[in-house]
Structure 1
Amino acid sequence: MVSGTAITPGEGVGGVIKLGSSMYTIVNQLTKYEQKIKIVYSEKEYLDTPITVMVPDLGMRLVFENSNKQELILIEVLDFSKLRLLYNGLALNEIVEQVRPASNEISGSGDSSASSADRLPSPDARGVVSSTESNNESGETEIETLVVPPNLGDIYNKLFGPTYPGRVSKDFRRYILSYPGIAFKFKIDSDELVAQLKSSDNANENNIISTLLNWRKQSDVWCISISVFHGSSWDSFVKSLSSSKSSTKTVSSRRTENSGPQIESLVMNLKMGVIKIIFETEKDRDDKNEFEIRIGQTTQQEVLNILGPPDDYFNKFDSRLLIHNYLSKSLNLDLNDTSIYKFHNYFKYGLDFLYDLNSSSNMHSTGVLTKVIIHNGGIAESLDFMKWNKCRWRVFTGKSSDEKNPFNMKDDVVINSSMYFKQIPQPFFKALSDDVPRPVFLNRNETEFIDNDLTIIEPEELACNSSPPLFDRTSLNGTTTPSVVENKKWGQSKLYGCNRCIMEVIESNGCISSLTIF
């Protein structure tokens, strides 16, 4: 149990759980503090529905929008026995732990291991009584915990002050009171009070809140949950949820402090191999927020100047042509080639960069960029879940662009990271190749590659002695339990390759989990 955690309306709870933070940031922070989490999501409409993260040891439920940046839009406190919440230095709930002698009663069957919870009072309307196990081996003492949640009178009269009347449920057993950025749900536990609320004298919302606040026993109207959100009222927030775009606008302006530079999106011209990195603009700053990088031209040092040092890196020794040994004589291939490449992983940005370090093939000593991999690490059924962040992107074929206007998308086909693979129009693929590419099935749970990469080589490319495109992805540290693999089929995907682009699509929901530009 955390002794004290500040709750800030419209902002968040404590120093870690802040509205506007990405799911990647929150989940990694919770993992760092060894908090257990449970992910709840829609299997069939993954991109169209929010993702819920349950944190049982904190008694919280976190809701993230999913179609855009996977930002935290709602924090719900559902269990007041886990955290002592503070507002302006005042406690919202009370958690009292008392040490008392352990009970020595033995059940009639002679079983002395009966649960201590069976010997404690049942929860009442104003609090929850529970007990932990004995604090020593002899069982001489045990800890009893009394939890007193906030009631309506304390919230309205002492802690937050007056506000507009709330809403009562149809059965008059629930009452929601809303303030800017925070809302409280109360349970009405008195049958007498419920009957009074149903009477004709309480036909409007003003009379209802007056009756509740003047009730003789305020513990009969006790809080069962607290919601923290960004907005002027609970009703306005709920209305914003009806549109994913509305909810995105709501939370995007609440970027957390000291989170560092954030990538807004990537825009890619496939024909020219040009990528524009767009950073989010910060108030009162005139820093450049757009940078261009080019496949085959931009150096490792130039990317480092833009993004800073990577989160991880490793060298890759190229063995991609060994399988084609029998073709070596006819195609004049050098199978003794020991080409060296370096991967830079930017997990926080959802990006990987591959550099060619072979001094004989280029004039740049720091290596030249040969491939960019854009991840969507927020797809729960992908093995990359939460290892990489979600990177937003837009891709167009580049058929109408030229060197002077590399990002001219007029009359072009544009796809983006919010699309399912099935939503990509056929003209996009026909502009890059003759037809929709045939998929290659991949099961990452069952298949291990020696050099952690998959190589796709087209016969035409071998005939031309050109460098074949690689599809490189490092695997997660750890394995998935057999039951999860059997039920969820995690790690199964399809690869669709076309000119300068390879897409990995999750088999179960059709989401594009990664995009490789080469």
Structure 2
Amino acid sequence: MSFLDLDIRPGQGVGIFELGASLWTVLDLLREDRTRYPHVDVKFDTTQPAISPILLHLRPHIDLLFSPRAQRLHTISIRRLRHLPNSSSPANLTLRYSPHGRSESPVNRADSPGGGGSHESLILSSPTTVLRKSGVNKIFGPTYQGDTLSFPGIWFSFDEDGGSPLPYSHLHHPSSPPLGAMSTTPPSGKGSVDRNAEVKRVAVCQRVKDAYDALGEVLECPSMEGEVRTVIAEPRKGVALYFHSISQDPPPSVHIRIGHTTSEDLICDLGSPLRVFYKEDDRMTIHSGKGLQEPDEAYFYNYFQYGMDVLLSGTSHKVRKIILHSNLPGSFLFQRYKRCPWEIHVNGSDPDRGMSYFPQRCRKKQWQNNYVSAPNIARLGSRIDTVGPLLQTSSHQEPPSMVLDRAADVPNGPTLPSGLTKLLGFDGVVMEVTDLGDILSVMLF
């Protein structure tokens, strides 16, 4: 493994990792830096992949915990600061801290943590520098007594594995056994630790006033600026995208109307798509019952960064269909798209009315991914047995369904627990559903 030199930013991030960044963005960063991070394990709850926290373990030092619904970086944990497991050789890891913000050119200090000028970055831990409780107190000042040293946005543990805020116990890769059970909150016992005790783990999280919640959502922060916060969808009409904005209230929005919005409108409002894909797969036309049709040369705008595909007519260049992707771990298209935080509004909601119908809680800054139940609204994370009754026009009729084998298109593709999914049809909506009932994607037409 290559040498890691990481700057610690309490409440903000570590190295290239920013709290609040999406899972899609972080995995893309890791792909671009495979030399430094060659081994990445993705762990999640296989019984509830749609609402499971996701843990990225960057062997051997870094754990990245992502929130269950928005899939945003919640907590960064760094362990094995000095030695690798089953090895006496020092770890190739250096941790730095700048008391006055991120340092562009960290100064390699030779003295122990806590000394030196105020504008230089301090080495907290390195192969030749041991981080101890006394050094933490000297840099960060006083804190409450306990088994850990907790400060706003950062805490230090003297146990290699215990006292972790990361809920490992139920997160695992489908092909590996679960990890050992650990606490979901930093311990706050009244015991004391020797001032020369060595720090074994450092965790960075957001600065919060309330109690730390390892399974909670991430508060709105600068790393989310300009990214999608909520997508309101209505069958046969379209979608409204609402974006994170630190400065604007109400937040900016974009409306896409089926049969009205054009390709030029999309580029003007959302920018150029990351890919344009011309539709060549006509296997579904055999089920249309309309016989052979003249080719329309339809094409997709793939907005992977919004978790969305838009199908446009090749003649009128207007929107025909919209596909919203849930980015479920363990699914065939996992990480192809960023998670789209969709909500389906039925029986009266109208995207054309914009903020007039948008929930009041979404207009205020204190709204932080507060997923509350509401009638006639189906949200990401709901299973088909909950969503289906909202969309069915008749309670006595089962929705038509088909079996889809995505692995058939890629014979040598990834091995998944099940490559088969179901397509369920409703009025103006088709949903791709797993055997657990989780909704992989929503297609509006």
Does the alignment reach a TM-score above 0.5?
Answer: yes
Q: 2:231 corresponds to which letter in structure 1?
A: L
More displaced stretch, 386-395 vs 308-317: 308-317
User: Residue 341 of structure 1 contacts residue 357 of structure 1 at CA under 8 Å; is this kept in 2?
Assistant: yes
Give the 3 Å change call, closer, same or farther, for CA 492–402 of structure 1 in structure 2.
closer
User: Residue 186 of structure 1 contacts residue 222 of structure 1 at CA under 8 Å; is this kept in 2?
Assistant: yes
**RMSD over aligned Cα atoms:** 3.2
1:252 aligns with 2:219: yes
Give the 3 Å change call, closer, same or farther, for CA 228–423 of structure 1 in structure 2.
same
User: Residue 297 of structure 1 contacts residue 368 of structure 1 at CA under 8 Å; is this kept in 2?
Assistant: yes
Map residues 389-400 of structure 1 onto 2, 5 A cutoff: 389-399=338-348
Give the 3 Å change call, closer, same or farther, for CA 230–405 of structure 1 in structure 2.
closer
Give the 3 Å change call, closer, same or farther, for CA 354–432 of structure 1 in structure 2.
farther
Query: What is the match of residue 124 of structure 1?
Result: none
Map residues 424-463 of structure 1 onto 2, 5 A cutoff: 424=387, 426=389, 428-431=390-393, 435-445=397-407, 447-448=408-409
Query: What is the match of residue 325 of structure 2?
Result: 375
Query: What is the match of residue 56 of structure 2?
Result: 53
CA distance in 2 between partners of 1:324 and 1:7 (Å): 57
- TM-score by structure 1 length? 0.65
Give the 3 Å change call, closer, same or farther, for CA 160–349 of structure 1 in structure 2.
same
Q: 1:340 corresponds to which letter in structure 2?
A: E
Query: What is the match of residue 87 of structure 1?
Result: 97
CA distance in 1 between partners of 2:239 and 2:285 (Å): 32
Q: 2:201 corresponds to which letter in structure 1?
A: S
Higher relative helix content: 1
Q: 1:71 corresponds to which letter in structure 2?
A: R
Deviation at 1:320, TM superposition (A): 4.7
CA distance in 1 between partners of 2:287 and 2:20 (Å): 50
- 1:370 match: secondary structure: strand
User: Residue 314 of structure 1 contacts residue 342 of structure 1 at CA under 8 Å; is this kept in 2?
Assistant: yes
Map residues 285-364 of structure 1 onto 2, 5 A cutoff: 285=248, 289-317=252-280, 319-320=282-283, 323=286, 333-335=291-293, 337-358=294-315, 362=316
- 2:268 match: secondary structure: helix
User: Residue 9 of structure 1 contacts residue 229 of structure 1 at CA under 8 Å; is this kept in 2?
Assistant: yes
Give aligned pairs, total. 369
Q: 2:150 corresponds to which letter in structure 1?
A: S
Map residues 403-418 of structure 1 onto 2, 5 A cutoff: 413-418=376-381
Q: What percentage of residue pairs aligned between the two structures are identical?
A: 24
Q: Whose RCO is larger (CA < 8 A, sep 6+)?
A: 2
Deviation at 1:424, TM superposition (A): 2.1
- 2:198 match: secondary structure: strand
Query: What is the match of residue 157 of structure 2?
Result: 185
Deviation at 1:375, TM superposition (A): 0.5
Deviation at 1:45, TM superposition (A): 2.5
Give the 3 Å change call, closer, same or farther, for CA 479–296 of structure 1 in structure 2.
same
- 1:150 match: secondary structure: coil
Q: 1:371 corresponds to which letter in structure 2?
A: K
- 2:144 match: secondary structure: coil
Q: 2:93 corresponds to which letter in structure 1?
A: L
- TM-score by structure 2 length? 0.74
User: Residue 433 of structure 1 contacts residue 498 of structure 1 at CA under 8 Å; is this kept in 2?
Assistant: no
1:4 aligns with 2:14: no
For structure 2, the residue ranges without an aligned partner over 5 or more in a row are: 82-90, 99-120, 161-187, 360-373
Deviation at 1:161, TM superposition (A): 2.2
Q: 1:223 corresponds to which letter in structure 2?
A: V
- 1:26 match: secondary structure: helix
| Deviation string, structure 1 residues 377-413 (Cα, Å, up to 9, x no partner) | 2x11111111100011111223576987998699962
CA distance in 2 between partners of 1:354 and 1:6 (Å): 44
CA distance in 2 between partners of 1:431 and 1:385 (Å): 31
Q: 1:164 corresponds to which letter in structure 2?
A: Y
Map residues 170-319 of structure 1 onto 2, 5 A cutoff: 176-187=148-159, 208=192, 212-213=194-195, 218=196, 221-231=197-207, 236-237=211-212, 240-241=213-214, 247-248=216-217, 251-256=218-223, 261-270=226-235, 272-283=236-247, 285=248, 289-317=252-280, 319=282
Q: 1:87 corresponds to which letter in structure 2?
A: Y
CA distance in 1 between partners of 2:276 and 2:14 (Å): 35
Query: What is the match of residue 85 of structure 2?
Result: none
More displaced stretch, 338-347 vs 179-188: 179-188
Q: 2:245 corresponds to which letter in structure 1?
A: T
Please point out which of 39, 42, 50 is paired with 1:39. 42
Deviation at 1:324, TM superposition (A): 7.1
